[in-house]
Amino acid sequence: MRIGFFIGEVRRIYREAFASLVFIGITALFLSVLLNIFIGGYIYTRKVAKRNSGYLKARVYLREDTQKGLKNLFANLLKYSPYVDSVRFVDKKRAEEEFKSNFPDFSDLLRLFSTNPLPENYVLYLNYTLLNEKKLENLKEEIQKFSFVDEVYLQGLFVFKFYLLEKISYFLLVSFVIVFFFILSMITRGSIRAAVERKRDLIKVYWLLGGNTEDLIGPFQVAGLLSGVLGSAFASLLLYLPFVFFMVPLWTLFVAPLLTMFVIVIVVREVIELSIN
């Protein structure tokens, strides 16, 4: 009996306030498309930045007369730096192999030397999230202060451009989530208030006769949710193929409907309780 009353009320709300509920659905659709684009853009730029982070390295070339004990001590010191993820030692043999692999057209130059002229070096894989170009220059200067360090070369500085893009996209995403909440809550508040106004007398009578608050709020929440969540779900489906193409995790497509549901539930409850009081 109670379920029948509940379903009947939802149908009556739809018949009496169809335009208002459709307005909620259309708004949720457009906002959800934009929200999904921002989410996908942030995740994609973050993946690109992380994928290229391996190119951010520092090569520390050592002097020929550096003692083995100093090399080991220096390696342990580098590992304790918060900016260094890992350290790899490249001996003369490995340096020769890398040179021949990276510069195959010039590999014959090594035959001009009686001994291997390539210096031993450390490759430092750096944490791009903790660094910027100024901090990286400071790190370079600190390393070059050691007397047995011949030269320090920085590689992959272009990663900072991707990292900046990642931070900008994150800022835009957070900003739009706030805008999403504000716009959807304002439109839902106005639309549900218009629907409640059409049934104000009936709601008041039901309340005075001892009706349950949840019975009054429930049908309006369900009607609003059907409009908003279906609109945002359709928006997510529209972006299904682009998300697959850019290899963005598909769980992100559920974010917009869930946010829409949360906003509508809160706003509808607030509007109904104000109307009752």
State the chain's mean pLDDT as an integer: 84
User: Residue 206 in contact with residue 42, Cβ under 8 Å?
Assistant: no
pLDDT tier at 1 (50, 70, 90 boundaries)? very low
pLDDT computed for residue 54 by the predictor: 86
Higher pLDDT, 180 or 209: 180
Q: Bridge partners of 87?
A: 124
Start-to-end C-alpha separation, the chain = 27
What are 226-255's pLDDT values in tens digits? Answer: 889 989 999 988 888 888 777 888 888 899
pLDDT computed for residue 137 by the predictor: 92
pLDDT computed for residue 210 by the predictor: 58
Q: For residue 214, what are its two tokens?
A: 């949840």
pLDDT tier at 22 (50, 70, 90 boundaries)? confident
Helices (H), the chain: 2-16, 18-52, 68-79, 92-102, 133-144, 159-198, 200-208, 213-238, 240-245, 255-276
User: Residue 21 in contact with residue 224, Cβ under 8 Å?
Assistant: yes
Measured CA distances, 124 to 31, 45, 68, 75, 271 (Å): 44, 24, 18, 10, 59
pLDDT computed for residue 39 by the predictor: 92
User: Residue 253 in contact with residue 36, Cβ under 8 Å?
Assistant: yes
Measured CA distances, 6 to 2, 15, 43, 210, 223 (Å): 6, 14, 41, 16, 11
Average pLDDT in the 178-197 region? Answer: 86
List domains and CATH numbers for the chain. Answer: 2-49+162-276 (no CATH), 57-155 (3.30.70.3040)
> Is the confidence at residue 151, as pLDDT, over 80?
yes
Closest listed residue to residue 274, CA positions, set 196, 169, 159: 196
Helix (H), strand (E) at residue 248: none
**Spatial distance between the Cα atoms of 119 and 104, rounded to a whole number of angstroms:** 18
Beta-carbon contacts of residue 206 (< 8 Å; ≥ 6 apart) = 215, 216
What are 97-136's pLDDT values in tens digits? Answer: 887 787 777 767 777 676 778 889 999 999 998 988 899 9
Most confident of 12-16, 66-70, 100-104: 66-70
pLDDT computed for residue 199 by the predictor: 64
pLDDT computed for residue 58 by the predictor: 93
User: Residue 21 in contact with residue 191, Cβ under 8 Å?
Assistant: yes
CB burial of residue 98 (10 Å; 0-12, 13-18, 19+) = middle
Higher pLDDT, 11 or 35: 35
% the chain with pLDDT above 90: 37
Beta-carbon contacts of residue 226 (< 8 Å; ≥ 6 apart) = 10, 21
Q: Name the pTM for this structure.
A: 0.75
User: Residue 61 in contact with residue 153, Cβ under 8 Å?
Assistant: yes
Q: Cα angle vertex 227, ends 221, 230, to 5°? A: 120
pLDDT computed for residue 117 by the predictor: 80
Higher pLDDT, 176 or 102: 176
pLDDT computed for residue 67 by the predictor: 86
Chain centroid, CA 256 distance in Å: 14
The answer to which of 10-24, 41-55, 100-114, 120-134 has the lowest mean pLDDT is 100-114
Q: For residue 41, what are its two tokens?
A: 């853009």
